[in-house]
Amino acid sequence: MAREVGAVLTIANLVPDLLGTYGDGGNALVLAQRARARGEEALLVAMAINDPLPDASIYLLGGGEDGPQRLARDVLARGSLAGRVRDGATVVAVCAGLQILGTTFSVEGDDQYAGLGLCDVTTKRGSTRSVGELRVRVGEHLLVGFENHGGRTTLGEGVAPLGRVEHGRGNDGVYDGFRTGNLWATYAHGPVLAQNPWFADAILSSVLGYELEPLDSVADLLYEERSRTIRS
Amino acid sequence: MSKGPSPRDRLAIAALRGLNRVSRASGRGAGTVIGGRAGLALSPNLLASLARDRTTILVSGTNGKTTTTALVAAGWGGDVVTNDTGSNMPAGHVAALASSRSPRAALEVDEAWLGAVLAQARPRVVVLLNLSRDQLDRASEVRQMAERWRSVLAGGDEHVVVANANDPLVVYAASDAKNVRWCDVPTPWQADARSCPRCTLALEHGEGTWRCSCGFAKPTAITTFLDDGLVIAGARHEMKLVLPGAFNEANAAMAVTALVEVGVNAADALARIGEVEAVAGRFTLRRWNERTVRLLLAKNPAGFDALLSSVEPDNSDVWIAINARDADGHDPSWLYDVPFEKLRGHLVWCLGERRLDLATRLDYAGVEFRVVDDLNELPHEQRAVELIANYTAFSQWLARSVPC
């Protein structure tokens, strides 16, 4: 649901028991802490496998192994995530979470599975697995992180990539992730928002509806160091 | 009667020993892997040949392998050959076995190599400690590992499997093995087994138990803890360890259970295990720059969680050193799976090549920190230091410090 001004900012980690292989829970923590540092009241919630979809302004989807990825899709398809997104909720998805948001995905073998269909994005199994540092040009910024996946993702008409790959594979070796409506997705798994404070603030700003004041922290030093280290 | 080694094996053993002598003499290494690789190149079945006339116990799992292998060796008593240099793949195994005629072998095995080593070494006992997320950029994912273990352990009736009943992934891995001794030992880390290893539905965790609606459930254990004592097959024993932490109680209980299977008296084994003070530098007190530093190794979230529960930040400084080299795994994302929130209210000194990743993690956890770019910035106080480091950072601190 779109958030009312002054309301508590609720951030929900979706099925972290299935999608949380790579420290992805860190992203929810980063959003909450950076919102609190700006005087917002933030609440972190987690949706377990048997829970109903919680009411939240931001939903996060992490990475996961093949079996749990399919189960996560089934669990989430039963809920009303699509409806919440139509009502204005934001989704931030990494890795397996990115694949689940689309219309179809293949994991082991070539069997195709239905995704949640929130956007026109399809993922096939690539010929190789991509494991390593990822560096993506997003406008004036860099997005730095680590990817570990075997997917090749194709974006449909009207779905804009998040950025252009400068090192690593991302979706297809050229582009990484996507940004469409309230959906943000990248193959940089784990605490990508911790390594890229500008990215966390861009998401928060879009949800809160105002420009955020800069927030000096050690995360800026980490971002500078990783941007220098991961060469294109 | 078994045959002696074949001419090819004798050549391989001679080459292995010669190379390892050169490697040690030149100071280039502990002298295990180079010779071991050469030996295996000359005779691919060398491990089988070297293990043939010995009673062997294998130890594998994500955390506690090195410690538990050392406890098995200590508890056995007498001359036991073991790969205590940390080389836990076949090159390290053959190098260790070629260096000793002891009829008893305790071998630590890398998780991914368990099938190959099992087939060649033909152990009497295989100890499966635990499985959790560890170096996901390098090893395969943890559920796949459990599946691989299950297929290599299925059926075999020449060995006994000593397995952790509180780790659903280990229980799954041993579920088709013929002879299993289940151990009900402390296993706080459950984050990798919230969904059923057999059917992926949610596991229900209760007080000391767990089960899935598909029928997969915690098995009945032969080894368990009762009022500070260890019960093995109905007999109660005192257990007192010098080594710290509940995780070492679990390691010791599984080591003793394995030793009982090869005919060792449990009370004797426990007495010997209780005296072990340090394993490969871990848990030892060292001196560095006029400070007393206790060196603690943690390589992954489960290991860190166990150590964070055992450090005493009220009485000591906490230093944490993180690297991300080959042996550590290149992706430090796992820092966000470590419950650093436990250190709130205390100051943590951030060391190692990925100290900024650590500091950022601590910042978001609400833990006060200092980033140490130069070791001279570390304080000169008299308090003891608890230094938790991951693999290569631990090695650096072991080399940098001296024994107390």
**A108 pLDDT above the threshold of 80:** no
Task: Please provide the average confidence, as pLDDT, over all residues in chain A.
Answer: 92
Same domain, B72 and B211: yes
Domain count, chain A: 1
In a domain, B366, yes or no: yes
Whole-number Å distance between alpha carbons of B378 and A105: 51
**B342 pLDDT above the threshold of 60:** yes
Same domain, B292 and B262: no
Whichever domain contains B86, its CATH number is: 3.40.1190.10
Domain count, chain B: 2
pLDDT digits (tens, 9 = 90+) for B8-58: 888 888 888 888 877 776 655 555 678 888 888 888 889 999 999 999 999
Overall average pLDDT of the A133-149 stretch = 95
pLDDT digits (tens, 9 = 90+) for B305-323: 988 988 888 889 999 999 9
Q: Which residues of A touch B (CB under 8 A)?
A: 17-18, 20-26, 29-30, 33, 48-50, 65, 67-68, 70-71, 131-133, 146, 148, 189-191, 194-195, 217-219, 221-222, 225
**B117 pLDDT above the threshold of 60:** yes
Whichever domain contains B380, its CATH number is: 3.90.190.20
Query: Which residues are within 8 A (CB) of A4 and not within 5 positions of it... i.e. 6 or more apart?
Result: none
Domain that holds residue B301: 285-403
Residue B227 vs residue B335, higher pLDDT? B335
Same domain, B302 and B266: no
In a domain, B40, yes or no: no
Whichever domain contains A129, its CATH number is: 3.40.50.880
Same domain, B200 and B322: no
Same domain, B75 and B221: yes
Query: Which residues are within 8 A (CB) of A53 and not within 5 positions of it... i.e. 6 or more apart?
Result: A12, A14, A47, A76, A79, A80, A81, A84
Q: How far is B163 from chain A (nearest CA, A)?
A: 24
What's the pLDDT score for residue B232?
94
In a domain, B93, yes or no: yes
Q: Which of A21-30, B14-23, B363-372 has the lowest mean pLDDT?
A: B14-23
In a domain, A167, yes or no: yes
Q: How far is A122 from chain B (nearest CA, A)?
A: 24
What's the pLDDT score for residue B1?
42
What's the pLDDT score for residue B40?
86
Whole-number Å distance between alpha carbons of A85 and B159: 55
Q: For residue B2, name the pLDDT band (cuts at 50, 70, 90).
A: low
Cβ proximity of B373 and B358 under 8 Å: no
In a domain, B128, yes or no: yes
In a domain, B19, yes or no: no
Closest CA to A90 of A4, A187, A207: A207
In a domain, B37, yes or no: no
Closest CA to B303 of B354, B250, B238: B250
What's the pLDDT score for residue B310?
81
Same domain, B160 and B189: yes
Of B336, B356, B366, the CB nearest to A191: B336
In a domain, A1, yes or no: no
Q: Which of A80-89, A175-184, B181-190 has the lowest mean pLDDT?
A: B181-190
Task: Please provide the average confidence, as pLDDT, over all residues in chain B.
Answer: 90
State the pTM of this model.
Answer: 0.80
Same domain, B224 and B325: no
In a domain, A47, yes or no: yes
DSSP 3-state of B2? coil
Same domain, B373 and B306: yes
CB contact under 8 A, A23 and B337: yes
**A3 pLDDT above the threshold of 70:** no
In a domain, A3, yes or no: no
What's the pLDDT score for residue B138?
53
Q: For residue B140, name the pLDDT band (cuts at 50, 70, 90).
A: low
**A46 pLDDT above the threshold of 50:** yes
Tokens of A142: 């860099």
Helix axes B142-153, B114-121, angle to 10 degrees: 20
